[in-house]
Amino acid sequence: MNDNVSKYLNQQVMTASPAKLVSMLYDRAIMSLKDAVSAIEAGEIERRWKANARAIEIIGHMWSTLDREKGGEIAANLDSLFSYMLGRLPQVDFQNDPAPAQEVIELLKPLARSWRDVAEGRAARPDGTLPAPAMPPQPQSPGVRTSFSA
């Protein structure tokens, strides 16, 4: 990675909200597992191992930092899910099998999407309502119909 890209990524991390940081962790874990699958397909054992190890490290970090006391049922569910993932991912290396990585990717996707929504202010409130949009809708050009009724 060149120096400018590294500086840009470092700036993104340093200025990100806590929700954005969590979202970035999920995205990186998914990207690492996709790389592990690609490495298996290419027969690149070392690349597979490094990519899978990176995903295990990220998921392990998220698991170890769960606030089990304050997190209630959500933390308990995430604890079980992360434990399951951490039990499945070694099979990627032991059996050179992409299936566990693909399974964990599918488990991570909705979590990543949820955290992305939180970070971008699109998550539903506890009462089920959505927050107001950050920007008001743009005015329509005169004479342009945006709704059609019978």
3-class secondary structure, 104: helix
Q: Tell me the percentage of the chain whose pLDDT exceeds 70.
A: 73
Q: Minimum mean pLDDT among 4-8, 34-38, 99-103, 105-109: which range?
A: 4-8
**27-33: long-range contacts (C-beta < 8 A, 24 or more apart)?**
27/112, 27/116, 28/54, 28/58, 29/54, 29/55, 29/58, 29/59, 29/108, 30/105, 30/108, 30/109, 30/112, 32/58, 33/101, 33/102, 33/104, 33/105, 33/108
DSSP H helical segments within the chain, as ranges?
Answer: 3-15, 18-42, 45-64, 72-88, 90-95, 99-119
Confidence of residue 14 (pLDDT cuts 50, 70, 90): low
Q: What pLDDT score was predicted for residue 2?
A: 73
- The CATH code for residues 18-119 is 1.20.120.340
The mean of the pLDDT values for the chain is: 84
If DSSP codes are grouped into helix, strand and coil, which group holds residue 110? Answer: helix
Name the nearest CA neighbour of 101 among 112, 110, 90: 90
